[in-house]
Chains A and B, each alone.
Chain A
Amino acid sequence: MRKQESLVAYFDWPLFIVYMLLLLMGIATVYSTAYNADYPNLFDFSQKYGKQIMWLGISLFLGLIVFLIDSDIYRKFCVPIYLFTLVLLVIVLFMPAVNGARAWLGIGSMGIQPAEFAKIGTALLLARFISSINVKQQTIQTVLYANAIILIPMVLILLQPDAGTFVVFTSFLFVMYREGITYDPLILKIVNAFPGVLFKKTWVGSHFIPILFVVVFLSIITLFMSNETITFESFPGIEIPGFWGVVFTLGFFGILGMIFLRFVSTKRERNNASLVIVIGFVLSTILASIVNFGFQGLASHQKVRIELFLGLKEDPNGEDYNRNRAMAAVGSGGFLGKGYNNASVSSVESNHVPESETDFIFCPFAEEWGFLGTILLIGMYLFLLLRIVFIAERQRSTFNRVYAYAVAMILFYHFAINLGMNIGFAPVIGIPLPFFSYGGSSMMSFSVMMFVLLKLDSQRRDVLQ
């Protein structure tokens, strides 16, 4: 057993500091956005900024409790924790609907969203399950078990309905991918059913998830870009159709990858990887072309329908105009921003961007701090995410690693989708920006998630499993 003084001996301060900085920046942004001149005090608990500070206190308190609990507890009690979150997800379905979704448990603003906590339960159980099997001999059964762990809460969340969190749950597929649990056994079963065919593994089956991610991500970006024309203020003559911008970007990353390989890999690996990059570029370009020209070729009413769904067209009477407003707010920030407290489009008072303190909190931040601020924020999130991946990779136990990856990928999804909808790269599905957005439920659940990770990491030397 550990001694008491080792409680923070292996504490990961960099992660904790970035986490705290994001929280504080979030509060500063909420203070600026939701500022109410009648209640100028930052600590006024009747206001959103006051409440957010209160939530910060509660989150840190919960974090401390989580941190004081021995990490063995999480391993041992992951099944009850998972089941408990499932029960909450069922109970919430019988609650009155708020804004069309039965997502809230509790009274008024003091409620919690069980879906947020279900992520933790699912992450823990998935970690437990993967650490308990031998992935090298994965069968259809293990793949189905792992998928069931994710699917049950997903179905319950879809019933609320909460499309955003539903999508976020697919982040667990990446964790499974990292651990080698892929859809290959299923695909082999189908492929090998043909007489005379006997594959031991298929490349597509193994890498199904990242390929799917690339396909979806690329398709969406191509769709969004297909209506845009890239212009440059300093070179007024140059106009690049959005589609070619996508292809150029793909080529740019291909070349970047080639250069990167030259430094990190052996010659044989390099040849293989280069081939993958070339094939990847060609396939991606083909995909982008199909999406782009397929979309352009659609009948206009179908096009309009898709555009409206994605929020590409502003329908003044529809709900999809948020994206357009959000982009106006972000884009008007300029290089240096309009200055703290000077957001003209996205302040709560002006109400041009609905939910500007929660799902669209990036808007006021980007408007006030400009490109300098947004690049800093992206840098901080990248640091946070890569730090967690780094932490995951240094774990001795599979359980810890799987859990850490789950945290990393959940946060990555939130980051990618939330920012994506602010900059026109993702449809508007309401999910918060972790640690930044206003809201007690998300702040508490993300904090608990972080502190469980910090706790597991600080005790990484105690466990061997």
Chain B
Amino acid sequence: MNTDNRKYVLIAFIIIVGIIYSVRLFYMQVVDETWTLRAQEIAEKRKEITPPRGVLFDRKGKKMVSNRTYYNLMFVEAKMKHFDTLAFANLIGWSKEHVRYRFYEIKKGEGKYHNKNTGKTTSNYQKIRPYAFLKELTLDEIAVIAPHLENFPGFYEEVTSMRSYPYANGANIVGYLSEVNGEEIDEDHFYKPGNNIGRAGLERFYEAELRGQKGIRYIVTSALNNAIESYANGKYDTVAKQGPYLKLGIDINLQAYGERLLKNKRGCIVAIEPSTGEILALVSAPSYDPNLFIGKRNISANYGRLLNDPSKPLYPRPLAAEYPPGSTFKLLNSLIGLQEGVITPQSGFPCNKSMVGCHNHASAGNLPDAIKHSCNPYYYAVTKRIIQQNKKKSVFEDAELGLNKWARYMRSFGLGSKLETDITGLSGGSIPDALYYDKWYGNHRWAFSTIRSISIGQGEVMLTPLQMANVAATIANRGWYIIPHFVKSIGGKGPKAIYKKKHYTLIDRSHFSVIIEGMRRVVHEPGGTGKRAKLKDIIVCGKTGTVQNPHGEDHSTFVAFAPMYKPKIAIAVFIENAKGGGGLWAAPTAGLMIEKYLTKKIMEKDREKTILEANFSYR
């Protein structure tokens, strides 16, 4: 048997295997993309770099909200060697059990993964991945730990950026940040677990701007998840871009001063620059130090306490709280009366206390004096004329017509619905119309006598302090307003378009001067209710309000603007449960704020002392 031919079998095997392998390699390497993608998945990691958030400046360029470097203490279990739990616990000042529990907590927190193919359930926690053992340490805290980390292989520090507030003011304006939740991650792919998101205030409203653009680095990683080098020399990388800075209309000094004035009180101050609608100060009292809400540790330590505080420091009163405007509302009823032609500047009504109470003063012979004295019967008469114009036979139908007309005027001042201010947490207040009362009393079952309290800003009328200030600004502008807003410039590019548009009221410009004259008399003439707001060289126009409150002491309120000509500031002050009327507490507070803003110094030292010492924060 000759077996020489069998060599061809062996040669054929060698050649065929060679050819098959070559074809296979051609397919794998050149034709098929699957393995290239798989290799990218394995070795090339997309690393997102979260930029620091945009910074907030006040109107003078002072940094209100900035960023500060913090440190996370990270660990990779696979790299830990000879871990001395006790020594580590001593280093960070914990107990041994606490350290052990923290490891357990991290592992548990990662959740489990169920593999359908193999039926195995494995923990998502991976020994080769870094996890934060301690988060958000300050430089001082990490400085104690860092030098000893070489004794604990597998542990290292990582830099993160968090907010810092050089001024402890304006917490209710700027809001705060906290970690995104699962829903937010699902909704917006920008966010990854551990990222922060604006939770309230401007941080939330301007989230899209402030968060900036994430940078993406493609890196070649090892099986241990270490970065080895940048992929393709960084050809595909994008640079993280910090969000644009926001320049606010807030004057941080004025804001701080306002917060000081309202110490030990509950209430609000809202100051607006009438010509631009920029909010100069928005004080909510009591408030809190925004530095209490930096990072997870601080939030968990302070949030619950502040949330349950009966004085509601987290509640942005100037934006959200709805108060009856009280007598300040008489300004608007005056304007509507003039516009409707039911009164003239010379109209006089006796101070007849039969329908509605009043304090002792001479009867007003004209409109400015009625404002000066804040005469309730006068406004009862004025508003009755507005509501009941005798255009319909039925008094009820007549009231319906009149009220709806009245409500339309009121809405043109931005009342009865939310202003489009650039912040979250706004309320709209309430301006009742016919429909509103129909619900209460039934159609055509009510007339002016039923709803008369609206004439003096009580009853169903509700305004937020922001709206009150905006009314003051509108009067200061003689008939128009720009929606009050915080941000005067986004990254140097000016405000949003809606904050450039003038909104005109339904009141003719000509009717304002008489009202403003009345407001001047309130402050500057003897017998005026707001004389405590008077300043030496500046004409302040204002209107007091004393809001009856069934639950306790009257609220003290005051709206004003100054100077009388070319006004620079419009303001509303509202102090809850102050023992005394608007003239006693709110007017001097407004006066001090105006003085502070316009002259940068306080001459009225006694007035300041009285306000600072006043304490209405009892329950």
Contact = CB atoms under 8 A, between A and B. Distances in A.
Contacts of A17: none
Contacts of B30: 334-335, 371
B25 A423 contact: yes
Interface string A188-216: 00000000000001000001001001000
Contacts, number: 153
Interface of A: 135-136, 174, 177-180, 201, 207, 210, 213, 217, 221, 230-233, 249, 253, 304, 308, 313, 315-317, 324-325, 327-335, 344-345, 347, 349-352, 366-367, 370-371, 374-375, 378-379, 381-382, 385-386, 389, 392-393, 405, 408-409, 412, 415-416, 419-420, 423-425
Interface in B453-487: none
Contact of B25 (A217, A330, A381, A409): A330
B497 interface: no
A404 to B, nearest CB: 11
Given A316-B122, A345-B43, 5 more contacts: A178-B6, A350-B223, A375-B26, A386-B15, A425-B24
Contacts of A419: 21
Given A333-B29, A350-B221, A375-B22, A328 B10 contact: no
Contact of A331 (B10, B28, B222): B28
A370 B20 CA distance: 17
A331 B13 contact: no
A371 B26 contact: yes
B534 to A, nearest CB: 77
Nearest to B16: A253
Interface of B: 1, 3, 6-7, 9-11, 13-36, 38-44, 117-118, 120, 122, 220-224, 228, 231
25 contacts: A136-B1, A177-B9, A178-B7, A304-B118, A327-B28, A328-B35, A330-B25, A331-B29, A331-B32, A331-B35, A332-B35, A332-B39, A344-B228, A345-B42, A347-B228, A350-B223, A375-B25, A378-B22, A378-B25, A389-B14, A415-B17, A416-B17, A416-B21, A423-B24, A425-B24
A351 B25 contact: no
Contact of B36 (A334, A416, A424): A334
A232 B43 contact: no
Given A332-B36, A350-B221, A351-B224, A325 B42 contact: yes
A409 B19 CA distance: 17
Contacts of B39: 328-329, 331-332, 344-345, 367
Given A315-B118, A332-B35, A425 B7 contact: no
For A179, A333, A367, A420, the residue with the greatest tally of chain B CB atoms inside 10 Å of its CB is A333
A351 B223 CA distance: 5
Contacts of B42: 325, 328, 345, 352
Given A213-B13, A232-B31, A374-B29, A331 B220 contact: no
Closest 6 CB pairs of A and B: A331-B35, A332-B39, A350-B222, A328-B38, A351-B223, A180-B3
Nearest to A136: B1
Chain A binding site: helix, strand, loop or mixed by DSSP? Answer: helix
Nearest to B20: A249
A379 B19 CA distance: 10
Contact of A423 (B28, B36, B41, B228): B28
A352 B28 contact: no
Contact of A393 (B7, B15, B41): B7
A331 B14 contact: no
For A213, A350, A425, the residue with the greatest tally of chain B CB atoms inside 10 Å of its CB is A350
Nearest to A367: B39
B35 A330 contact: yes
Contact of A174 (B10, B18, B23, B38): B10
A327 B223 contact: no
Chain B binding site: helix, strand, loop or mixed by DSSP? Answer: helix
Contacts of A350: 43, 220-223, 228
Contacts of A420: 21
A75 to B, nearest CB: 22
Contacts of B23: 249
Contacts of B120: 317
Nearest to A329: B39
Contacts of A330: 25, 28-29, 35
A344 B25 CA distance: 19
Contacts of A381: 18
A178 to B, nearest CB: 5
B21 A423 contact: yes
B110 to A, nearest CB: 15
A180 B1 contact: yes
Contacts of B220: 344, 350
A386 B21 contact: no
Contact of B228 (A136, A178, A349, A375): A349
Given A350-B228, A393-B7, A412 B29 contact: no
Nearest to B223: A351
Given A334-B36, A352-B223, A389 B10 contact: yes
Contacts of B10: 174, 178, 389, 405, 408-409
Nearest to A405: B10
Contact of B14 (A333, A371, A412): A412
A308 B221 CA distance: 26
A352 B31 contact: no
Contacts of A327: 28, 35, 38
A329 B17 CA distance: 21
A414 to B, nearest CB: 12
A313 B118 CA distance: 10
A408 B13 CA distance: 12
Contacts of A334: 29-30, 36
Nearest to A351: B223
A344 B122 CA distance: 28
Contact of A210 (B13, B21, B32, B41): B13
Contact of B29 (A349, A366, A424): A366
Contacts of B3: 135, 178-180
For A328, A331, A350, A416, the residue with the greatest tally of chain B CB atoms inside 10 Å of its CB is A331
B36 A331 contact: yes
A309 to B, nearest CB: 13
A20 to B, nearest CB: 21
A385 B34 CA distance: 32
Contacts of A379: 18
Contacts of B7: 178, 389, 392-393
Contact of B117 (A313, A335, A374): A313
A136 B221 CA distance: 62
Contacts of A370: 29
A405 B32 CA distance: 37
Given A371-B26, A389-B14, A324 B38 contact: yes
B77 to A, nearest CB: 16
A230 B27 contact: yes
Nearest to B14: A385
Contacts of A329: 39
Contacts of B11: 386, 389
Contacts of B14: 382, 385-386, 389, 408, 412
Contacts of A332: 35-36, 38-40
Contacts of B21: 378, 416, 419-420, 423, 425
